[in-house]
A and B are shown apart, each in its own frame.
Chain A
Amino acid sequence: MDGVLLAQFIMNGLMLGMMYALVAVGFTLFFGVLDIIVFSHGDTVMVGAFAGLGTYVWLQSVYPDIDTVWVCLWVVLASLLAVCLLGVVLARGLIMRLRSSPPLNTLLATMMLGTVLREAIRLFYPDGSNPQPFPKLLPDTSWVLGGVTVRLDSVLLFVGGLLLIGGIHLLINKTKLGMAVRAVAQDSEAAQLMGVNFSFIVLLTFALGSGVAAFAGLMNGIYYNEINFSMGVLLGAIGFSAAVIGGLGNIYGAIIGGFVFAFLQTIGAVALPFSSAYKDVFAFAVVIVLMAIRPTGFLAERSSQRV
């Protein structure tokens, strides 16, 4: 394989990896504070993309000659806000109630919640059952560097993702709120005894994780130029796999996991003897094998069992 193609694939993989990492961060954050896997998170990503699209369509119809930069800004803002709100409402209304249920029930409940979101978009978004073209919100510029095409929108999205991750890092590690989040993640009861407002922290975490997911959804839309109501299933499974590979509850692990999964898909698409359509089959097969080798992920989850 020649270098140009390789570089192209690496860039492609990095984009995918960033997307997955952003989804995985949500899984890992929620697990940290509530010890629950929120399977509907993938569908939250999808809702984010549709919220962005809806805003765009609305803006186009009401203010047809508005400047692209403003459109872009409004779309991002509206999508982030809508999904943050959705995350908070769902957390408050449903997910926090499930804390005392047996694990299987929470698994099923959050999966069903995902189905509800998915079906709601399919049925109630205009023509929602068909794939929707996603607008090109970012400038169409691209450069050719040594034979490799670099798209400006990809670079912008990647940088945006990096900034988001950096922001979360700072929030979690450098602020008082972040400290409270970490305290809840480590021991929610002790944190409550020390005066941390548990519900507030959980809701904050859900707002944060969902906001990041919304960005991932927009990124997905812009990158593929198309979104559909069922994109969340695969994204959710991938994000969850990434979070588990990285070790649940570990934000940096989740980010690494996201890139690992993208790397697996890229390998599946180019380096293996069968057709590139099998890339997901390959990646998921590897995940299953990895789970057989390390049943609790690679940076092991804290666990305690008293006999």
Chain B
Amino acid sequence: MDRSREIFVCLLSAMALLVFSVVFLLAEDETVIGSYMVGGAVLLWIMVRMGVYEKVITAVSHHERLWASLVFIAALILLFFFRDNHYCLFLVGTIFCYTIAVLGLNVQLGYTGVINFSAASFFGVGGYTAGMLLNQGLVPPFAAFILGGVMAGLVGCVLLLPVLRTSGHYSALVTMAFALLFNVFLEVNESFGGPQGIAVPSFSLFGVDFGSDVEWGSITGSFYLRYDLFILVFLAIVFIMVRRVERSWMGLAMDAVRLDETASACFGINIVRWKVTAFTMGNVLMGMAGALYAMMLAYISPANFTFSDSLLFLSILLLGGMGNCWGVLLATSIMVVLPEKLQFIQEYRYLLYSLLVLLMIVYRPMGLLPRRTRVVTSEDVA
């Protein structure tokens, strides 16, 4: 395909995606939603069978910078469209926060192969740090957001030694033990609100309180709009950064560590350095995402950060395709929106998640969007 046609395909698919999401978020009736989903799936299947899907993916991957801008603009349009819909804006904000956290997990697990079964705990560390600091009135909200990440990174340092020394299921045990420990700790510790949790004051930036509804001239909207815009910008920065890390010498070193530690060591790659970098970077991202999520949610409790939630994060990563940032975005959207839209499966959410991931592992272990072979020298890099 020539360049202009590829660009046209990018534009078209971004628009299709936007329309699909808007209609999906607008739909209320469950039969409509159900048939819409089935229709979408059938269409996708036909596209895959006819080879169109692969062509679209190739076109998009050739113009990633353009595609990323298009998706960003589409997200802005989506937010503007739903500007006074609390519920949809909250859903979108949740997707953004989870995506940031799973991108952190992607750096750890997808790039470097550091197993972390306590992602939700680090997400929670960020949230609780922000909440506690703001409740005490110690720091301004922006600092609380940053410190949430810092704190998650520091807590991660406690786990560094065992995580570095162990591998495989032993690493899993260490992080799993931490996830359980963290949850029990939150439940029994009275100063963190115990099982009831704590209220978290709203975010504010440059004196603008994010807790009040939006009134910009003639435009009025839900207070979630501010959160979503801020988180979207942060997500964009994180996304670009994580993507750049992947396509750099850092990413090469991380891949090498994941794929073959012995060979990496023999070629002078410092394994400890890269595992520490990836683990800390991931935890900081999870912590910052957690802080934003807590402020948006205004109320957090240990039930938000259980071991099952850690598993949810991991499932998202696996569903999207280990190591693929776009896959993370796609899978998070699916995993967050589906159960909300299909209220009748709300109750069966975890059951369906786990069945879905199980089937994925057995029949399509590479995920929905398998990671593409990295070509560092490619010119069009976001």
A175 at the B interface (CB under 8 A): no
- Tell whether, in the assembled complex, residue B262 and residue A307 are in contact, meaning their CB atoms are under 8 Å apart: yes
Interface string of A104-135 (1 = CB under 8 A from B): 11011101110110111001000000000000
- Tell whether, in the assembled complex, residue B185 and residue A281 are in contact, meaning their CB atoms are under 8 Å apart: yes
- Tell whether, in the assembled complex, residue B351 and residue A115 are in contact, meaning their CB atoms are under 8 Å apart: yes
Known pairs A108-B315, A108-B361, A112-B315; A287 contacts B177 (CB<8 A)? yes
Interface string of B341-370 (1 = CB under 8 A from A): 000000110110111011001100100000
- Tell whether, in the assembled complex, residue B348 and residue A123 are in contact, meaning their CB atoms are under 8 Å apart: yes
- Tell whether, in the assembled complex, residue B173 and residue A277 are in contact, meaning their CB atoms are under 8 Å apart: no
| Distance of B140 from chain A, by nearest CB (Å) | 32
Residues of A with C-beta under 8 A to B165: 291-292, 295
- Tell whether, in the assembled complex, residue A119 and residue B177 are in contact, meaning their CB atoms are under 8 Å apart: no
B181 at the A interface (CB under 8 A): yes
- Tell whether, in the assembled complex, residue B362 and residue A284 are in contact, meaning their CB atoms are under 8 Å apart: no
Known pairs A112-B358, A112-B361, A288-B178; A241 contacts B315 (CB<8 A)? no
Residues of A with C-beta under 8 A to B311: 108, 111-112, 115
A94 at the B interface (CB under 8 A): yes
- Tell whether, in the assembled complex, residue A109 and residue B262 are in contact, meaning their CB atoms are under 8 Å apart: no
- Tell whether, in the assembled complex, residue B347 and residue A113 are in contact, meaning their CB atoms are under 8 Å apart: no
| Distance of B12 from chain A, by nearest CB (Å) | 35
- Tell whether, in the assembled complex, residue B177 and residue A284 are in contact, meaning their CB atoms are under 8 Å apart: yes
- Tell whether, in the assembled complex, residue A233 and residue B185 are in contact, meaning their CB atoms are under 8 Å apart: no
| Distance of A110 from chain B, by nearest CB (Å) | 9
- Tell whether, in the assembled complex, residue B177 and residue A288 are in contact, meaning their CB atoms are under 8 Å apart: yes
Looking across the interface, which residue of chain B has its beta carbon closest to that of A233? B307
B376 at the A interface (CB under 8 A): no
Cα of A278 to Cα of B172 in the assembled complex, Å? 22
- Tell whether, in the assembled complex, residue B361 and residue A101 are in contact, meaning their CB atoms are under 8 Å apart: yes
Residues of B with C-beta under 8 A to A297: 170
B188 at the A interface (CB under 8 A): yes
Residues of A with C-beta under 8 A to B350: 115, 118-119
Residues of A with C-beta under 8 A to B180: 233-234, 237, 280, 284
A240's contact among B167, B173, B185, by CB below 8 Å, is which? B173
| Distance of B346 from chain A, by nearest CB (Å) | 12
- Tell whether, in the assembled complex, residue A112 and residue B357 are in contact, meaning their CB atoms are under 8 Å apart: yes
- Tell whether, in the assembled complex, residue B181 and residue A97 are in contact, meaning their CB atoms are under 8 Å apart: no
| Distance of B184 from chain A, by nearest CB (Å) | 5
- Tell whether, in the assembled complex, residue B358 and residue A94 are in contact, meaning their CB atoms are under 8 Å apart: yes
| Distance of A128 from chain B, by nearest CB (Å) | 11
Per DSSP, are chain B's interface residues mostly helix, strand or loop, or mixed? helix
| Distance of B74 from chain A, by nearest CB (Å) | 31
| Distance of B50 from chain A, by nearest CB (Å) | 30
Cα of A185 to Cα of B83 in the assembled complex, Å? 61
Cα of A105 to Cα of B354 in the assembled complex, Å? 13
Looking across the interface, which residue of chain A has its beta carbon closest to that of B365? A105
- Tell whether, in the assembled complex, residue B173 and residue A287 are in contact, meaning their CB atoms are under 8 Å apart: yes
- Tell whether, in the assembled complex, residue B358 and residue A116 are in contact, meaning their CB atoms are under 8 Å apart: yes
A115's contact among B115, B162, B308, by CB below 8 Å, is which? B308
Known pairs A37-B172, A288-B174, A307-B262; A109 contacts B184 (CB<8 A)? no
B159 at the A interface (CB under 8 A): yes
Residues of A with C-beta under 8 A to B176: 237, 240
B103 at the A interface (CB under 8 A): no
Cα of A124 to Cα of B328 in the assembled complex, Å? 32
- Tell whether, in the assembled complex, residue A241 and residue B361 are in contact, meaning their CB atoms are under 8 Å apart: no
- Tell whether, in the assembled complex, residue A107 and residue B170 are in contact, meaning their CB atoms are under 8 Å apart: no
Residues of B with C-beta under 8 A to A104: 109, 115
Residues of A with C-beta under 8 A to B144: none
| Distance of B99 from chain A, by nearest CB (Å) | 19
A108's contact among B159, B347, B355, B357, by CB below 8 Å, is which? B357
A61 at the B interface (CB under 8 A): no
Interface string of B279-298 (1 = CB under 8 A from A): 00000000000000000000
B161 at the A interface (CB under 8 A): yes
Cα of A305 to Cα of B261 in the assembled complex, Å? 12
Cα of A124 to Cα of B351 in the assembled complex, Å? 11
Residues of A255-301 at the interface with B, using a CB-CB cut-off of 8 Å, are 275, 277-278, 280-281, 284-285, 287-289, 291-292, 295-297
Cα of A292 to Cα of B307 in the assembled complex, Å? 21
A244 at the B interface (CB under 8 A): yes
A166 at the B interface (CB under 8 A): no
B79 at the A interface (CB under 8 A): no
Residues of B with C-beta under 8 A to A307: 262
A103 at the B interface (CB under 8 A): yes
Residues of B with C-beta under 8 A to A280: 180-181, 184
Residues of B with C-beta under 8 A to A292: 161-162, 165
The residue among A102, A107, A112 with the most chain B CB atoms within 10 A of its own CB is: A112
- Tell whether, in the assembled complex, residue B357 and residue A278 are in contact, meaning their CB atoms are under 8 Å apart: no
Residues of B with C-beta under 8 A to A120: 351
Known pairs A237-B180, A287-B177; A119 contacts B354 (CB<8 A)? yes
Residues of A with C-beta under 8 A to B318: 105, 108
Known pairs A109-B362, A120-B351; A275 contacts B188 (CB<8 A)? yes
**20 A-B residue contacts at CB 8 Å?**
A37-B172, A94-B358, A98-B361, A105-B361, A107-B169, A112-B358, A113-B354, A115-B351, A241-B173, A241-B177, A278-B185, A281-B184, A285-B181, A287-B174, A288-B174, A291-B162, A291-B165, A292-B165, A296-B170, A297-B170
Known interface pairs A107-B169, A115-B350; 18 further A-B residue pairs with C-beta atoms within 8 A, sorted by A's residue number: A37-B169, A103-B168, A108-B318, A111-B311, A112-B311, A112-B355, A116-B358, A119-B348, A119-B354, A234-B180, A237-B173, A275-B188, A284-B178, A288-B178, A291-B165, A291-B173, A295-B162, A305-B262
Measured CB to CB, the residues of B under 8 A from A are: 109, 115, 159, 161-162, 165-170, 172-174, 176-178, 180-181, 184-185, 188, 262, 307-308, 311, 314-315, 318, 347-348, 350-351, 353-355, 357-358, 361-362, 365
Instruction: Rank and list the top 4 A-B pairs by shortest CB-CB distance, nearest first.
Output: A119-B351, A115-B354, A277-B188, A292-B162
Measured CB to CB, the residues of A under 8 A from B are: 37, 94, 97-98, 101-105, 107-109, 111-113, 115-116, 118-120, 123, 233-234, 237, 240-241, 244, 275, 277-278, 280-281, 284-285, 287-289, 291-292, 295-297, 305, 307
